[in-house]
Amino acid sequence: MNIVSDQKSIPGGSLLSPEANAAAAFAAATATANGVLTVDLDAIVANWRKLEKSAVPAECAGVVKADAYGCGAVQVARALHTAGCKTFFVATLDEARTLRETLPSATIYVLDGFFQNTGDAYAKIDARPVIGDLNELAEWDVFCRRSGWAGGAAIHIDTGMNRLGLTLTEAQGIIPRINAGDHGITLVMSHLACAETLNHPLNARQLASFREIASLFSGVPASLANSSGVFLGAQFQFDMVRPGAALYGINPTPEADNPMQPVVELKARIVQIRNLEKGETAGYGCTWTARRPTKLAIVSAGYADGYFRAGGSNDGTRGAEVVVAGKRCPIAGRISMDLVAVDVTDLEKNAARRGHLVTLIGEGITVDELAHHFGTIGYEVLTSLGPRYMRIYKGGEAKTTDEPVAAAADPAPATDATPAAAG
């Protein structure tokens, strides 16, 4: 972690080991933070390279919507682009604008599509809409004819998700236009609904439907596989794969071990230590009762920070766990908006002290494990991590060779410790 790159700037730095220097740098950078989210950009790049290798010869794009799943779109996209990723997917035009300021030459697709009044905005930043409706296609056509813009677009075809996309009949209806040439379509794509379930029958049906319709889009690259779809086999990979969650360490194969590296570590600070007598309760609703003399650490994270209320415990149900001084400790009672109580009774004396940081994600607690306690999925956990956490970026020092576009702000280095408003 290169928060402080000049060893001399750390007192006694020349006498400390690299590990000690890193610890001192981390402590200095986070001294005033109640919570710290560390994002390992090198792990994200390693995950992308693993996915890319699995998909060869298909291109491996990067999905960085929702601020790169809460991890920081600017920092993540810069690291991925430096590693060789050329194509990115975002959800909205605003996300595309942010990305374009960082990566002037990357190909950017916008999943939420095209509206009649958005043509100039697409052209200005050279982004490509993902068109999933015949009305969108007509509006895009009109804009391109009137403006002369030839920036390209993707066609999204619904093969079973029933969310966005042209129907198969509608897609067949535009094939004459594709065969006529000069159509401006740069990608034909669909989206898998059940790819995380290896043998779900819809996977095969969607594959067959997409293979048939995509073959009619002569000369247009095709894309079907999301993160989990990459692991369904080469037949699902076509010309491009579009991983998102797997880049950020979420398990794309929940029926097997996670093949991806963990990416985030989340810590929060102990703000108080409290002692309870047997029979006393803790938290809202008095749902948790001390069964012995108990020591609680009150930690500065809550559901306003994306640490969901559903992870709490009561007298009959065990909740999530937190790592304190290297050991797992259970949550005691309900999680409130800004605070959570953790039972640290079994730790050695003074192992948990006011001001110490404890680990909410990391040290063996995965995003997927936390999602299980929250009754949700890892996607929601990551994208809910709030702006009150200080963001620290580890690795990814090398910058893209692109120059910033005119009038664009020069983004902060990927190794900065910043309270970035992600999530």
Residue-wise pLDDT tens digits, 324-354: 999 999 999 999 999 999 999 999 999 999 9
pTM more than 0.75: yes
Task: Choose among 95, 185, 183, 181: nearest CA to 131.
Answer: 185
Gap between the Cα atoms of 386 and 33, Å rounded = 13
> Which pLDDT belongs to residue 15?
64
| Residue 357 CB coordination number (10 Å) | 20
Q: Which residue in the list 65, 267, 295, 394 is annotated as catalytic? A: 65
Residue type, 383: T
Q: Reply yes or no on whether 278 is catalytic.
A: no
Give the start-end residues of each E strand in 16-76: 35-40, 59-60, 62-63
> Which pLDDT belongs to residue 2?
43
Block residue for tokens 């067949």: 172
> Which pLDDT belongs to residue 396?
84
Q: Reply yes or no on whether 65 is catalytic.
A: yes
Helix then strand count (H, E) for the chain reads 13, 20
Q: Which two tokens stand for residue 293?
A: 């003399």
> Which pLDDT belongs to residue 399?
42
- Contact between 61 and 154 under an 8 Å Cβ cutoff? The reply is no
Gap between the Cα atoms of 321 and 313, Å rounded = 10
> Which pLDDT belongs to residue 397?
65
Gap between the Cα atoms of 22 and 6, Å rounded = 11
Task: Choose among 307, 350, 366: nearest CA to 331.
Answer: 307
Regions of the chain with pLDDT less than 50:
1-14, 398-416, 418-423
> Which pLDDT belongs to residue 51?
98
Q: Which residue in the list 86, 284, 327, 399 is annotated as catalytic? A: 284
- Contact between 251 and 368 under an 8 Å Cβ cutoff? The reply is yes
